[in-house]
Amino acid sequence: MVILYSNINLAFNLKRKSATAQQQERTESLHPLIIDSIQSVKGKKILKLDLRQLDDAQVDFFIICSGDSTTQVRAISDRIEKRLREEAGERPLHVEGTREGHWILLDYFNTIVHVFHPETRSYYDLESLWSDAKFEQFE
């Protein structure tokens, strides 16, 4: 089972890392819209982590933010999805956590958006796990 998972994970990493320059540029161009979407519904502690220089990173960027309640976490996620769909024609490859509303993950190919409830964000502490990444903070 572990070997199978490792092979799947390796294939996943290779697919992500072999993205064309055009795909990477397109995904990166979504960042201002993602951040503005978060800010428009009062998301807090917005961070963009640049993971491109890290060998073990599966994607190029994380955008991390918090909402004060599960309702706000869902609202942030919904706003990001709606604006990217309507204004950029982009849909996430995968979304997880919408039912619980404590940690919603939106997968936009080389950018993963993590929308956290504060306690969940503190518990998983992605910022410390990826502390070697370049950070950019937004208000």
Q: How many domains does the chain have?
A: 1
Question: How do residues 81-105 score in pLDDT, each as one tens digit?
Answer: 999 999 999 999 999 999 999 999 9
**3 state DSSP class of 9:** helix
- We report the CATH number of the domain holding residue 74 as 3.30.460.10
Total-model pTM:
0.83
Short-list 126, 112, 121, CA closest to 34: 112
Which residue range(s) make up the domain with 133? 2-138
